[in-house]
Amino acid sequence: MVNWISQAKPLDLLRRGMSRRPWYVVLYVTSHCNQRCNMCFNWKNLNTLKRSEEWSLDEIRLLAEQLPDLYQLTLTGGEPTLRQDLGEIIEIFFNVAGVSRITVATNGSYPDRVDRLIRQVTNSCPGLTLSINLSIDGIGQAHDQIRGMPGSFDRLVETWHIANQHSKKSSQVNVATASVLTAGNLAQMKDLLNWVAANMDIGSHGVMLARGDVATQAGAAASEDDFIGILRYHSALARSAGRLNQVLADEYFRCRVKTIKSRKMANPCRSGDKLIIIDEKANVHPCEILNVLAAAGKTGDSDLGDFSFGNLRTSNFNLGSLLESPRAKEIRRFIQEERCWCTFECAQINNLVLDPLSYLRLFGRVIGVGERVC
C-alpha cells in the first residue's frame, strides 16, 4: 500500500481516479501454473485451458484500447511468467492504454524469466512502474510444502535478489513480497515475518488472509482474530522512519481491521466500477470474491448468480456494453448497498485511495490528531 502511494504521480492519479472508467484492472493472463498451492482459491481453473484458448495478443490489444484511463494493471493467473510473451502484453498496455503501473504477481519459480522481463520492460516502456510481487508463505521446506514444489523457496529468494538489484538501478522497478495466512502456517507466520524483516524488505511485504474455495484444510483461512493479531505484529515490524509513510501504513491497517470487525468495507467499495477483474476465459467480474460468496450462499436472496458482468469474447470485446448493462448496474447497486464485505486487498487499496475522507484522516494523523489506530 505504501509503495503504491509513494510511487504515484499525483496529477496522473487524480485525473485517472476521477474518470468514470475503470482505472484498476486485475487480468488473469493464463490458467497454467507450475505449483499446487494449498491455499489457492483458483485451483479448480488451473491448467484447464489449451494454450490456443488463452488470451491472444490481438485480444489483449482490443482490451487495452478500451481502457484509456488505466492506472494500475495487475497480471496474474496461474503463473504469468509461464507466458513467453508476457513482455509483449505489458508493452501493449503501455503503448495502447498508457498504463502507469503494472504489477506481475509471480511465485518466483523462474529467476531468468523475471530478469529478462525486467530488462525488456525497462528498455521498451520508459516511465512505466513495474512491480514484481513475490509470494512467500514459509521458510525453506515449509514454503516448498505449501507450494507443492521442491526447491521453490530457493528460486523465490534468487528471483527476489535479481529484482531487488534492478530496483536499486532503476526507479521504474519495484519489488514486493506477500504472504497468505492460513490455518496451516499460522504457527510459523511470526517467524516468517521476522525472516522477511532480516533478509528482505518488511516495509514492502504484505499479509493476506486466505479466501475462497481452497483445496485443503491446511490452506483454509486462519481465524479473523488471528489475522488481526498477525497484521498488528507485521505493522510493528514495519514501522517506517518516514512520518507520511507510517501514517499511510497505519491508515491501511485501520481500514483492514475495521472492515473485519464491522463486517462491512471501511471505505465505500468501488469494485465493479473503478476496479474490475477479468479472468483467463475473458469473463468480467466486479471482484475476486463475490462469486465465491454467492456459491457459499453468503449473498442473501440475490438472484445475480455468479455476479459476472459477462464475457468479452461473446460480446465482441465490447467492455463498455458489459459495464453499462442492466445486470452490471444491479451488481454495482448490490455492492454499493453494502450487502457484501471481504478482505480482498486490491479492493481495499482501491477503496481507500478513492475515498476523499481518507485524505482528511491522513491529514489529521500527520498533524497529530484523529482516530487512534486499532
Write the pLDDT tens digit of every residue in 5-23.
656 666 676 777 777 899 9
Mean pLDDT computed over 86-105: 97
Q: Considering just the CA atoms, what is the radius of gyration of the chain in Å?
A: 19
Interhelix angle 224-237/189-199, rounded to 10 degrees, is: 20
Does residue 317 have a pLDDT over 50? yes
State residue 360's pLDDT score. Answer: 84
State residue 228's pLDDT score. Answer: 97
Q: Which residue has the higher pLDDT, 201 or 294?
A: 201
Residues 6+ apart with CB under 8 A from 115: 162, 166
Quick check: helix, strand or coil at residue 310? strand
The model's pLDDT over 156-199, given as tens digits with 9 standing for 90+, comes to 999 999 999 999 999 999 999 999 999 999 999 999 999 999 99
State residue 232's pLDDT score. Answer: 96
Bridge partner list, 179: 207
- Rounded CA-CA distance 194/201 in Å is 10
Cβ–Cβ under 8 Å, residues 335 and 299: no
Among 155, 160, 130, residue whose Cα is nearest residue 140: 155
- Mean of the per-residue pLDDT values of the chain: 92
- Rounded CA-CA distance 207/205 in Å is 7
Cβ–Cβ under 8 Å, residues 193 and 228: no
State residue 230's pLDDT score. Answer: 97
Give 124-151 as a DSSP string.
HSTT-EEEEEEE--SSTHHHHHHHT-TT
Bridge partner list, 180: 208
Does residue 278 have a pLDDT over 50? yes
Among 26, 37, 19, 100, residue whose Cα is nearest residue 63: 26
Bridge partner list, 285: 277
Cβ–Cβ under 8 Å, residues 143 and 136: yes
- Rounded CA-CA distance 125/121 in Å is 5
The model's pLDDT over 107-140, given as tens digits with 9 standing for 90+, comes to 999 999 999 999 999 999 999 999 999 999 999 9
State residue 8's pLDDT score. Answer: 63
State residue 263's pLDDT score. Answer: 94
Beta strands in the chain (DSSP E): 24-28, 72-76, 101-106, 129-135, 173-181, 205-209, 275-278, 283-285, 310-311
State residue 9's pLDDT score. Answer: 66
Cβ–Cβ under 8 Å, residues 222 and 210: yes
CA atoms within 13 A on the CB side of 12: 16
Cell for 152? 521453490
Among 248, 224, 222, 244, residue whose Cα is nearest residue 235: 248
Q: Identify the weakest region by mean pLDDT among 85-94, 146-155, 246-255, 346-355.
A: 246-255
The model's pLDDT over 18-47, given as tens digits with 9 standing for 90+, comes to 778 999 999 999 999 999 999 998 888 889
Q: Which residue has the higher pLDDT, 301 or 26?
A: 26
Mean pLDDT computed over 200-226: 93
Please report, for residues 30, 45, 119, 289, the alpha-carbon distance to residue 49 in angstroms, rounded to integers and kept in the order given: 8, 8, 29, 22
Mean pLDDT computed over 317-331: 97
- Rounded CA-CA distance 109/216 in Å is 22
How many CB atoms are closer than 10 A to CB 131?
22
State residue 18's pLDDT score. Answer: 74
Does residue 373 have a pLDDT over 50? no
Q: Identify the weakest region by mean pLDDT among 204-218, 224-238, 285-299.
A: 285-299
Does residue 367 have a pLDDT over 80? no
The model's pLDDT over 61-88, given as tens digits with 9 standing for 90+, comes to 999 999 999 999 999 999 999 999 999 9
Does residue 145 have a pLDDT over 60? yes
State residue 20's pLDDT score. Answer: 82
Cβ–Cβ under 8 Å, residues 254 and 373: yes
- Rounded CA-CA distance 341/104 in Å is 26
Domains and CATH numbers, the chain: 2-366 (3.20.20.70)
Q: Which residue has the higher pLDDT, 356 or 116?
A: 116
